[in-house]
Structure 1
Amino acid sequence: MIRNRVLVTALVTTALAAPGLARAADYHHVHITSASPLQAVDWYTRHMGCEPVTDRNDAANCYGVEVLFVPQITTGTSQGTGIDHIGFSVSDLPAKMTELENVGVRGSGVRLQRNDDGSTWRDVPGLFKIAFVFDPWGTRIEMVEDPETLGFHHVHLSAADPDATLAWYRDVMGGTPDSLKGRLDGLRFGDVWFLVSQNAEGLPGSTIERAIDHIAFTLDDLDSAAADFRRQDVRFEQEPSIPEGGRTSAKRAFLVGPDNVRVAVVETGFAGIESDIGSTILTADALGNYDTPDTPWGEPDLQGIWTSSSAVGIPFERPENVDASEVTADEAIARHEGRLLGGIWGYEREWRDTTLEYGSAVSTQAAMIIDPPDGRLPSRITEESTQALAGDERTESPTAATARSPSPSPYGVPAGPEDLSTWVRCITRGLIPTPGGYNNGLQIVQGPGFVAITREMVHETRIVPTTPQPALGEKVTAYLGSSRGHWDGDTLIVETTNFNGGASFRGSSENLALTERYTRVGPATLEYKFTLDDPTVWTQPWTAMFRWDLDESQYELVEYSCHEGNYGMTNILSGARATDAGTTGR
């Protein structure tokens, strides 16, 4: 699994020693999870004013505080845990929030937490201006305007007993009691504030494997400090040791802190863990020959719940500046995360498939198209077919209404439901299940002579016969056509014709002949190839490929319920009628 951590190293010291320690601990880091160190460094550089650390691709320096990113799984946001959020201070908060609002959610992953009146910030009398945002990986960040401390500003804890929590960090770690602006009692570790609020529900949830996994402090001699901790009855989650993959010989230990907060203590010189990015990707040479097991009736067994989330980010066509068939590990992870950030729109993080790192072995494929060899779509027959569809299946296409209406809406002004896409009408998402930011599940169930393939998006199930069946007449058509399957060794080949043209893929027409190949190339990997042959659209057939990961331990296909919640259909049509009335004066 991908594991990722953010290290924040405060380059400060504390004058007051903790009662049980020879000297006070310095605040060292906060561990924030992310699926891509490269994307995380870029995000905190662009939006939090940090700078990349020289000769590192996993660290940023935030006003003297080092933020280090390495891979780690995450199971949710920081809210609801013992570490509710971290804080950054800027010199002009209204201007900063305007900047972030203009950037928006799409493309950057900046999500603003708005106030009840819709504003993005508020002024707290006697304190300072405050606002809240979320990073793309679920970390809640408080933005404040405190000119006395710019940059990384504070760690805000959530506690069942705030006084007891502050006392623990004071007595065990040596924090200096202080009052922020005379309004908020807390502790200071150098320039970093530790603040705490009452948790309304009592004991907060554990921070382990959440967006903020733990906070950490540094000491010169961890073994001596460990003896002091034991005298104070502090419990160890992990005894002092040199961590595997550590960049230096400095030791690290984990303590059980108050309020289910994981607390790390590291020796001076600790510089984080070398992450093995290569183990988090899926390359072509990582898959060898695999002997697919058989079903009880003797057919290759492809059954299970599969997810294509690891293929998110693979461009459909090979970029013009890429010559190789595969990209590097760093490039693969960066584009995977970049595609997710560019496609989350207003969805909460928990609704995205990467929250639990489904299919975390990110693919290094340069492009989905593998034939023609240049990874590019072949030429189109006519100009009309060239303009028919620019996006892939996971991008809703314009409809005929666009051509007859000057409306800025991607659908124009629809006269009726027929002018809207099959997506909006909850009819189908099409036959080829290319991956996106969510709902990437596929379930395969087999019986003698049949294979049932259920797609999570819209919950369509295709029942494909694998024994000879008579072909349908050419006048019998459907959105998903008519499929017939057969086995070629361990590969299921599905041939589909008789399309009605209503669910086009990349501009295909009703004349499309689609050939799909499902091959299990590993115990948990399913290779999916599809060939489109439409002589009325392209000058030659072309083939694309991506892979699915078996994930029956945590992935579940639940009811899609598209029609039940389809307020979009009603609102689009009622809005169109209102536009008609305004245009015609009715």
Structure 2
Amino acid sequence: MRSLVCVLSLAVLWQVSGSWAQLATPNEQGLSFGHLHVFSPEREKEAKAWLTLGGQLGNNLSGNIPIKFPGIVVLVGQERPVTGGSAGSLIDHVGFRVRDLQASLANWKGVSTWWKEGNWGLKIEPGTKPGQAFVTTPGGTRCEILEDKALKVPILFDHAHYYVEESRLKQMQDYYARMFGAKPTKGEADTFDIPGGKLVFSKSAAPTAETMGRSLDHVGFNMLNAEALAAFVKTLEAKGANIQRYQNSSMGMIRLLDGFGAVVEVTKSQGGYFDVKHLDKSFYLVDEGGRKEGETPTRPR
């Protein structure tokens, strides 16, 4: 794989003093939006695209490349083939709001010449209504871009958009409300709030593909610390959640299947990608693979 020096250089251009963004304050269940985990056969190209959209390089805490936005961190995983883009899967796309849509689009398009495309691999499409556009990353993750002139930051995470057969739509909404404390958004049909963003549910004309293996592999929620995560696991078990894996790692991690085609990951302390003060003490006791000091690290230092 090529050096990530170019990625780091691009990230510096976006740095500002102080804390640029954080994850949201958790809800009553103790969680907020945490991350979007994306994959691509060309990892460096994918990371550059997310930086071009306005993200910043987060703290180096795992084997992923963390690109932070207000309300979410995009984790660019290790290079691997993907079975397809996000479009057509259960999570068709994710949404961001920008303060100035036209200025953002012009920046993302860059300069195009007969010998060079300056868009960092981003595919830009017009929206179906004013103040809307769509951008697809090189790996295939589709992003809806919405203009919000009242924003105090250039870009902000807004939502994850799920598509499911109409017969299962209400069932899916009930699942995310019961398991994760999602609450109906006032004035927006089929939309639910989780701190840091929204879950939008729409009916699909045809069955959608599962997310695992696609460019947008899963959405992750975050707990503040190991104690909160352990307590939440017990709550999920009592509710009959289909937990596939529990990993005692530096950021903790449980993976569950929602029964509709998506993997849901719940972690802890991911605010550390923004500011290390949000790391809990257990982060320093084991590495991301659960190995302890004195053992061979899961990944080279």
In the other structure, the counterpart of 1:53 is 58
Counterpart code for 2:139: W
Mapping of residues 265-344 of structure 1, within 5 Å: 265-268=266-269, 273=288
| Residues 54/253 of structure 1: CA separation in 2 closer, same or farther (3 Å cut) | closer
How far apart are residue 58 of structure 1 and its match? 1.9
- Show structure 1 runs of 5+ residues with no match: 1-8, 18-22, 114-119, 279-586
Alpha-carbon contact 1:31-1:213 (below 8 Å) kept: yes
Mapping of residues 113-262 of structure 1, within 5 Å: 113=125, 120-124=126-130, 129-147=131-149, 150-160=155-165, 161-179=168-186, 182-202=187-207, 204-219=208-223, 220=225, 221-238=228-245, 240-243=246-249, 248=250, 250-262=251-263
How far apart are residue 77 of structure 1 and its match? 0.6
Question: Which deviates the most, 168-177 or 216-225?
Answer: 216-225
| Residues 110/64 of structure 1: CA separation in 2 closer, same or farther (3 Å cut) | same
| Residues 230/54 of structure 1: CA separation in 2 closer, same or farther (3 Å cut) | closer
How far apart are residue 233 of structure 1 and its match? 1.7
Alpha-carbon contact 1:38-1:58 (below 8 Å) kept: no
| Residues 276/96 of structure 1: CA separation in 2 closer, same or farther (3 Å cut) | farther
- Confirm or deny that 1:11 pairs with 2:13: no
Alpha-carbon contact 2:40-2:139 (below 8 Å) kept: yes
From 97, 122, 135, the equivalent of 2:105 is: 97
How far apart are residue 54 of structure 1 and its match? 5.1
In the other structure, the counterpart of 1:86 is 94
Q: What is the rounded CA distance, in whole Å, between the counterparts of 1:277 and 1:138 in structure 2?
A: 27
Q: What is the rounded CA distance, in whole Å, between the counterparts of 2:69 and 2:270 in structure 1?
A: 19
Q: In the TM superposition, what whole-angstrom CA distance separates every residue of 1:269-313 from its partner, at most 9, and x where no partner exists?
A: 5869589888xxxxxxxxxxxxxxxxxxxxxxxxxxxxxxxxxxx
Secondary structure in structure 2 of the residue aligned to 1:96: helix
In the other structure, the counterpart of 2:34 is 28
Bigger relative contact order, structure 1 or 2, given CA contacts below 8 A and separation 6+? 2
Counterpart code for 2:86: S
How far apart are residue 26 of structure 1 and its match? 1.6
Aligned residue pairs, count = 245
Secondary structure in structure 2 of the residue aligned to 1:230: helix
From 29, 44, 48, the equivalent of 1:42 is: 48
| Residues 271/200 of structure 1: CA separation in 2 closer, same or farther (3 Å cut) | farther
Counterpart code for 1:33: F
Alpha-carbon contact 1:24-1:174 (below 8 Å) kept: no
Q: What is the rounded CA distance, in whole Å, between the counterparts of 1:251 and 1:208 in structure 2?
A: 20
In the other structure, the counterpart of 1:264 is 265
How far apart are residue 64 of structure 1 and its match? 5.1
Cα RMSD after superposing both structures: 3.1
Counterpart code for 1:91: R
Q: In the TM superposition, what whole-angstrom CA distance separates every residue of 1:408-467 from its partner, at most 9, and x where no partner exists?
A: xxxxxxxxxxxxxxxxxxxxxxxxxxxxxxxxxxxxxxxxxxxxxxxxxxxxxxxxxxxx
Q: What is the rounded CA distance, in whole Å, between the counterparts of 1:254 and 1:66 in structure 2?
A: 18
Mapping of residues 357-396 of structure 1, within 5 Å: none
Q: What is the rounded CA distance, in whole Å, between the counterparts of 2:104 and 2:111 in structure 1?
A: 11
Secondary structure in structure 2 of the residue aligned to 1:253: strand
How far apart are residue 229 of structure 1 and its match? 1.4
How far apart are residue 86 of structure 1 and its match? 0.8
How far apart are residue 215 of structure 1 and its match? 1.0
Counterpart code for 1:100: W
Q: What is the rounded CA distance, in whole Å, between the counterparts of 1:277 and 1:76 in structure 2?
A: 28
Q: What is the rounded CA distance, in whole Å, between the counterparts of 1:276 and 1:58 in structure 2?
A: 16
Q: In the TM superposition, what whole-angstrom CA distance separates every residue of 1:341-371 from its partner, at most 9, and x where no partner exists?
A: xxxxxxxxxxxxxxxxxxxxxxxxxxxxxxx
How far apart are residue 41 of structure 1 and its match? 3.1
Mapping of residues 435-514 of structure 1, within 5 Å: none
Runs (4 or more) in structure 1 with deviation over 6 Å come to 274-278
Secondary structure in structure 2 of the residue aligned to 1:11: coil
How far apart are residue 103 of structure 1 and its match? 4.4
From 111, 124, 149, the equivalent of 2:123 is: 111
Q: What is the rounded CA distance, in whole Å, between the counterparts of 2:135 and 2:190 in structure 1?
A: 24
Counterpart code for 1:109: G
| Residues 170/72 of structure 1: CA separation in 2 closer, same or farther (3 Å cut) | farther
| Residues 147/65 of structure 1: CA separation in 2 closer, same or farther (3 Å cut) | farther
| Residues 252/166 of structure 1: CA separation in 2 closer, same or farther (3 Å cut) | same
Alpha-carbon contact 2:33-2:196 (below 8 Å) kept: no
Counterpart code for 1:58: I
Q: What is the rounded CA distance, in whole Å, between the counterparts of 2:233 and 2:266 in structure 1?
A: 9
Q: In the TM superposition, what whole-angstrom CA distance separates every residue of 1:363-394 from its partner, at most 9, and x where no partner exists?
A: xxxxxxxxxxxxxxxxxxxxxxxxxxxxxxxx
| Residues 32/193 of structure 1: CA separation in 2 closer, same or farther (3 Å cut) | same
How far apart are residue 198 of structure 1 and its match? 0.8
Secondary structure in structure 2 of the residue aligned to 1:138: coil
Alpha-carbon contact 1:168-1:258 (below 8 Å) kept: no
Q: In the TM superposition, what whole-angstrom CA distance separates every residue of 1:303-341 from its partner, at most 9, and x where no partner exists?
A: xxxxxxxxxxxxxxxxxxxxxxxxxxxxxxxxxxxxxxx
Q: What is the rounded CA distance, in whole Å, between the counterparts of 2:74 and 2:136 in structure 1?
A: 16
Q: What is the rounded CA distance, in whole Å, between the counterparts of 2:196 and 2:150 in structure 1?
A: 10
Sequence identity (%): 23
Counterpart code for 2:91: I
Q: What is the rounded CA distance, in whole Å, between the counterparts of 1:141 and 1:85 in structure 2?
A: 5
